[in-house]
Amino acid sequence: MTTVSTLPSGINVVAKDESAVPTIPIVSVNNLTKQFGDFTAVNGISFSVNHREIFGFLGPNGAGKSTTIKMICTLLQPTSGQIRVADHDVLRESSKVRSAIGIVFQDNSLDSGLTAQENLEFHCIMYHIPRAEREKRIHDVLLLMDLVEVKDRYVKTFSGGMRRRLEIARGLLHEPQLLILDEPTVGLDPQTRNYIWQYVRQLRERHDTTVFMTTHYMDEAEYCDRIAIIDRGEIIALDTPRGLKQMLREDRIEIVTSDPERARQLVIENLGAAATIDGNQLIISAPDSDHFVPRLLTELVQHNLRAESLQVRQTSLEDVFINLTGRHIREEEGGKDERRLTARRMGRM
């Protein structure tokens, strides 16, 4: 049923009956806080994750991403606030929550002395998967992650990307409603990262899996349907990647002309855009560069100015993060994680 009401201004508001669509989110977090002594790791955050959504936490190390994940997974108890997963309360129904989720942590948790097949068989036992179903489930997840041919190899011989794929396969064995990936590609090369995400995107299409991931890689966050930018324990923005980038409303246009100062004046006076000179470049901030650039070039031609080069850099998630926090998420974040993981594997931490 559809209901139409009219506001005093004469604007019609159409309210659709969405009773046929699931309305309960797979994850619901309300005013969640976690303190360690005097330090507040997570500070009153609220958000939800919808069914079949790829939802992401984007932020630097220490932002509160992993702490939030651990509370959702029942591994940490909140200081205050509420969490529901698959409509189960995390504190009162922890066993049901654990049955509803699969998780891939930052740290490798596979037994490297076992084969891929043996790792998965052990997981089946831990999750009480009936013996009659184990062989098919193991085959299905190995097939999904393209690991069938290496199922009898010891995990210690696997590359980093193969280990990650096996961990994802393991997380899917008990057919969870929600798959949680905590920094799933940290320390992997760009090509392997892309492969991992090809597999992850297939999960929703083939199995209706909801994915909740954390990352500090900007390009990786683009895979998400929605992103929560988290910094210093607080969510400072939450929207689709496109919606976040539209917050800035401006693209950056870099152009070299025969007379940059004169071109700058034309841009400001005739096109109404902000422009500065950097060396021999004119830097212009303008909304909707696709429409602005033709107008810019027409204006330059009409005033006998020659454009020697022109480059458009559309707003990125990194631009949004810098605008909101005043700083970059550095590539060293990944390096620190990789060094820490390597040290743990070698028994130094």
Q: Look-up: residue for tokens 């949004």?
A: 320
At residue 32's C-alpha, the angle toward residues 29 and 36, to 5°, is 145
For residues 27-46, give the mean pLDDT: 97
In a 10 Å sphere around its CB, with 0-12 CB exposed, 13-18 middle and 19+ buried, how is residue 184 labelled? buried
Token pair of 37 as six digits: 């002594």
pTM: 0.73
pLDDT in tens, 54-84: 999 999 888 999 999 999 999 999 999 999 9
If one counts every other C-beta atom within 10 angstroms of the C-beta of residue 150, the result is: 18
pLDDT in tens, 157-174: 999 889 999 999 999 898
pLDDT in tens, 215-238: 888 888 998 999 999 999 999 999
Q: Is residue 17 part of a domain?
A: no
221 in the same domain as 113: yes
CB 69 within 8 A of CB 228: no
CA 132, CA 257: separation in Å to the nearest integer?
72
H helix intervals, 208-331: 218-221, 241-246, 260-266, 289-302, 317-325
233 in the same domain as 126: yes
CA 157, CA 160: separation in Å to the nearest integer?
10
Which phi-psi region, left, alpha or beta, contains residue 156 (left: φ > 0; alpha: ψ -120 to 50)? alpha
CA 106, CA 228: separation in Å to the nearest integer?
19
> Nearest 5°: phi and psi at 174?
-90, 15
Token pair of 266 as six digits: 């034309």
Residues 6 or more apart whose Cβ sits within 8 Å of residue 47: 27, 29, 228, 235, 238
CB 64 within 8 A of CB 42: yes
Residue where one domain finishes, among candidates 217, 245, 273: 245
Q: Is residue 92 part of a domain?
A: yes
pLDDT in tens, 235-249: 999 999 989 988 887
Quote the domain boundaries for residue 265.
249-322
CA 96, CA 143: separation in Å to the nearest integer?
28
125 in the same domain as 175: yes
Total number of domains constituting the chain: 2
169 in the same domain as 75: yes
CATH code for the domain of 300: 3.30.70.270
| H or E element that contains 47 | strand 39-49
Q: Is residue 329 part of a domain?
A: no
227 in the same domain as 91: yes
264 in the same domain as 170: no
Token pair of 191 as six digits: 């090509």
- pLDDT > 90 in the chain, percent: 56
CA 179, CA 123: separation in Å to the nearest integer?
15
DSSP 3-state assignment of 239?
A: strand
Task: Round the average pLDDT of the chain to a whole number and report it.
Answer: 85
Does residue 33 have a pLDDT over 70?
yes
CB 213 within 8 A of CB 224: yes
Q: Is residue 186 part of a domain?
A: yes
pLDDT band at 330 (very low <50, low <70, confident <90, very high): low
Q: Is residue 345 part of a domain?
A: no
CA 220, CA 198: separation in Å to the nearest integer?
11
CA 201, CA 68: separation in Å to the nearest integer?
23
At residue 106's C-alpha, the angle toward residues 211 and 96, to 5°, is 50
Residues 6 or more apart whose Cβ sits within 8 Å of residue 17: 1, 2, 3
